[in-house]
Amino acid sequence: GAINVLIDENAICIKKDDYVFNTRTIIADFPNWKFIINGMTTDKTATVLKSDLSKLMKRMLIFARDNATAKNGITFDIKDNKINVKAIADKGKAKDKIECIQSGENIKISLNAQFIQDYLNSTNKDTINISFRTAQTPVIIKPDTNTNESMYMMMPLAMAE
């Protein structure tokens, strides 16, 4: 069948057979992301194999999906060249760790495991840098290369102990 597309100044509607997709346009100024990124500084980095981190995120998401206080929230404790990860949910908790190359001081931070997995699914690089400043400031995830081909910035979650 035909695909019908209806567009007005605030919305788009796409219809095909029994399926309807509606979306609204956002009328707002997009944040000045170049200013935000150029002003960021990090002094701690964990360099990790993408395959190890992806497998870890998939295991942790089994529990983190049901975290009542922070959906998909997991705690990273980076020290002694290891990323120690903990996920807690009503049905139990999980702890695991992977090796990393750590530079800078130790850091404990809570992050959204699904957001990390989304980035990992989007890159074909084998080695990933996760860079931090504090547990309350944005985290930068990008390939361990000298190029600026991709970068993912995410805010940490409030840490629950």
Stretch 136-156: mean pLDDT: 86
CA torsion sign for 89, 94, 99, 105 is positive
Transcribe 6-23 into DSSP letters: EE-SSEEEEEETTEEEEE
- Phi, then psi, of 70 in degrees rounded to 5: -150, 95
Q: What is the distance between the alpha carbons of residues 143 and 150, in angstroms, rounded to a whole number?
A: 7
pLDDT at 161: 55
Q: Is the pLDDT of residue 46 over 60?
A: yes
Percentage, residues of the chain above pLDDT 70: 96
User: Where is pLDDT greater, at 151 or 85?
Assistant: 85
Task: Report the range of poorest mean pLDDT among 11-20, 62-71, 91-100, 109-118.
Answer: 62-71
Transcribe 62-108 into DSSP letters: HHHTT-SSSTTEEEEEEETTEEEEEEEETTEEEEEEEE-EEESS-EE
Q: Is the pLDDT of residue 134 over 70?
A: yes
